[in-house]
Amino acid sequence: MTAGILIGGLALLFALNAPIAIAIGVAAIGAIVAQGSFPLMMVVQRMFAGTDSFHLLAVPLFMFAGVLMERGGISRRLIDFANALVGWLPGGLAAVTIVSAMFFAGISGSAAADAAAVGAILIPAMKRSGYDSDFAAAVQASGGSIGVIIPPSIPMIIFGFLTGASIGQLFAAGILPGLLIGVSLIAAATVISRRRGYAAARSFSLAEVWQTFRGAVLALGAPAIILGGILFGVFTATESAAVAVVYALLVSLLVYREVKVADLFAVFRDGAVTSAIVMFIIATASVFSWIAAIEDIPARLAGSLLTLTREPTLLLLLVNAVLLIAGTFVETTAALILLVPMITAMLPSLGIDLVQLGAIVVVNLAIGMLTPPMGICLIVSCSISGDSLGAVSRRILPFLAVLLIDLLFITFWSPLTTWLPSLVR
């Protein structure tokens, strides 16, 4: 009965469009009451315990760094450099959008922040240049999903917190898949743009590449410091988040001077609000996962999947299908906390290591960010372009097809996700 209330209550509240954190928390409380062995005070204790982690400190820090860099003009300089690099391709602004998203992904760790920061500049620019509005939104949503794959990545931090996997190795595991996805999305956008007659944004100029690189070199320094410090063992992933904040603050205040001291309150407020949303979901989901573990639900669900097949290849395909469906209907943080215990219970049967599994999980959930009703990148891009979810969803189908092919490579060609992590200390 407890398991039925937990899962059924969650499904019902999702169907009623309740906020994610409220749906998870109410379902968990209902299950605890039905179970009858624990006082409700345990809810508060588990919420606190679920967020009391040094690893999770990286979440608000990376979010704050992302807000600070957006306000400080860093994202605009990255876009200028991306324009010089790939703006000469057919549909150059579409390629610029994806390259800019890849650059910003190395700073923010959040797909929503990536889509908002880049989309606010490039979706209007694409529309002014004659691109269809819904195509512009589809390109931005697709590129925004890279924000949680190229490190730093907030979902990878949460995966490491849940499983004990090295967050530094998880970050390293996301680099090559992120580059693969970025290049394949650029190729798809270029082919579609050529067919629709979207012109290049500019002609190629090596002098302009050098000039915009000089303007963006400090902006590019942030991901270089973050990733280099982690890969070479200088600092941990959480410490790298603090380094990113200090770096962004110094560059925005003292070098670019686009953030004033008087602006810092608004920056802190925006960072706090976005962080609080994620941390509240983590807090309520930790209560849910605690009562689910007591009822042995993850192991039972894993056992149910294992009864279907023991073949690692088929099992990996099945896990991917479950994650893709979950990513469509459940917010990423909640999906991680709800599903990762079940999936890691099957790890010995999957024939892969924990770090590769983390990369596969995050890529699946990143794809879910492009599909309604819970696709956060889709929603952000639609809000900027003014198009309906249905119109943009149709335009995004070719990009989804490319991402699914990439997912198969990431799942079944292990060096893509295991080579770089093997070099991390």
* Structure tokens, 210: 């050098």
Query: What pLDDT sits at residue 425?
Result: 62
Range list of H helices, 232-331: 237-250, 264-294, 297-306, 312-329
Alpha-carbon span 328 to 91, nearest angstrom: 29
Is 206:200 a contact under the CB 8 Å cutoff?
no
What integer pLDDT is reported at residue 294 of this predicted model?
81
What's the pLDDT score for residue 373?
65
Per-residue model confidence (pLDDT) at position 334:
78
Bond into 177 cis (ω within 30): no
In the structure, how many helices (H) and strands (E) does the chain have? 22, 0
> CB count, 10 Å around CB of 206?
8
Q: Find, among 306, 379, 297, 309, the residue nearest to 342 by Cα.
A: 297
**What confidence score (pLDDT) does residue 50 get?**
78
| Measured distance CA(46)–CA(59) in Å, rounded | 19
Contact 67, 271 (CB under 8 A): yes
- 138-177 pLDDT, tens per residue? 999 999 889 899 988 889 988 998 898 988 899 999 999 9
Of the chain, the end-to-end C-alpha distance in Å amounts to 46
Q: How far is CA 94 from the centre of its chain?
A: 20
Beta-carbon-side half-sphere exposure of residue 264 (alpha carbons within 13 Å): 10
Is residue 69 within 8 Å of residue 108, measured between CB atoms? yes
Peptide bond into 152 cis (omega under 30): yes
Contact 167, 157 (CB under 8 A): yes
DSSP 262: G
Task: Calculate Rg over the CA atoms of the chain.
Answer: 21
Place of tokens 């999957």: 350
Q: In which residue are the tokens 């469906």 written?
A: 325
Q: What is the pLDDT of residue 201?
A: 66
| pTM of the complete model beyond 0.75 | yes
Residue length, the chain?
Answer: 425
Parts of the chain with a pLDDT under 50: none
Return d(Cα 61, Cα 198) in angstroms, integer.
39
Which among 242, 266, 265 has a CA at the least distance from the CA of 62? Answer: 242
